[in-house]
Amino acid sequence: MKAVIPAAGLGTRFLPATKAQPKEMLPVYNKPTIQYVVEEAVASGIDDILIITGKGKRSIEDHFDRSFELEYSLRNCGKMDYLVEVEAISEMADIYYVRQKQQKGLGDAIHCAKKHIDGQPFAVLLGDTISQSQVPCTKQLLDVHEKYGASAIAIERVPRDKIERYGIIKGQQVEDSVYHIEDMVEKPRPEEAPSDLAITGRYVLESDIFDHIAEVEPGVGGEIQLTDAMRQLDSIYGHIFDGKIYDIGNNVEWLKSSLEIALQDPDVNGELREYLKNILK
C-alpha cells in the first residue's frame, strides 16, 4: 500500500505566517503538522509516500531529507538525543514528491498521483490534519477496506454549527462504526445536510478514483472536488474513526491543537497548566 499526502494548498487562512512557509510546516507544539501525518502513515504499515506539493513548498522536502551539517554539529556537541530524533525523520519512509502545477482543488491534487500509484489501492492523508488514536486512523481504514473490498473513508460526528465546514455523508449503517455510503454533499447548510457524519481527511481509495476525477466538472473557483469523484465509486464505506482528529484549518483550531498536544507532554504539562490558569484568571 502506498500513501498520498496532498500538501499543495496556499494556506491563505494563515497569512502572513504562510507567505514564505507552507502551512503544513507550521508547528503543532514541537513538530511540523505534516510530520505527524507521515508518522501516522508509517505507523499504519506504509513506507512508500508521495507528497503532492506546489510552488514554495521546498521546505517540506528539506525537512524529510538528511541534514549533514546539523547532524555533524549535534554529534560534535554531544547532543545525541537530538541527533537520533533528527536522523529518524529522514529514515521514516521512502518519500517522493510531485508538484500540482495549478491550484485546482483536492481532486486534481490526488490525480497528480496516478502514475505513482500504478493501478493499486492507496491511502490518502490530508497534510494539514492530525489524528490521534491507539490504532492509527489510516490502519483502521485499511482494515475496513480489507473487510469490505471497497474504498473506505474516515468520518466523525460533528456539531450542527460546524456542518458547513465539511463534506457530509448519507448512508446505511452496516455495523457499529461502519456505514455504506449512498451519497455525499460538500459543505451543505445544516438544514440541508443528510446527516451529521463528516468526512475527516483520511481515505483508502481504489485506483478507479482517478477515472472518476477525470470526469468531474470543475466547480467554484475552477476546483475539482474529490467528494464529487467519490460519489461515482461503485461502493464506498465510511468508518467512524475511533480517536481524535485535529483539523488544522484555521488559526483558532491550530492554536487549540498545539495546546492540547503540548498538554500531553509530561515535560511541559505542569508548567503550561499553571501558566494557562494564571492568564485566564
- Is the preceding omega at residue 194 within 30 degrees of 0, hence cis? no
pLDDT bracket for residue 187 (50, 70, 90): confident
**Does the pTM of the predicted model rise above 0.95?**
no
pLDDT tens digits, 225-241: 899 999 999 999 999 99
Tracing cell 507544539 back to the chain, one arrives at 29
Q: Are 7 and 22 in contact (CB under 8 A)?
A: yes
Instruction: Check pLDDT > 80 for residue 116.
Output: yes
The helix or strand, by DSSP H or E, that contains position 180, with its residue range, turns out to be strand 178-186
Count of residues in the chain: 281
Cα-based distances in Å from 210 to 41, 105, 115, 149, 174? 21, 14, 10, 18, 27
Per 3-state DSSP, the chain is made up of helix, strand and coil in percentages (nearest 5) of 40, 25, 35
71: which residues sit within 8 A by CB, 6+ positions away?
83, 86, 87
Architecture of the 2-280 domain: Alpha-Beta Complex (3.90)
Q: Which helix (H) or strand (E) holds 132?
A: strand 129-132
* 253 CB neighbour count, 10 Å cutoff: 15
Reported as a single tens digit per residue, the pLDDT across 262-279 is: 999 999 999 999 999 999
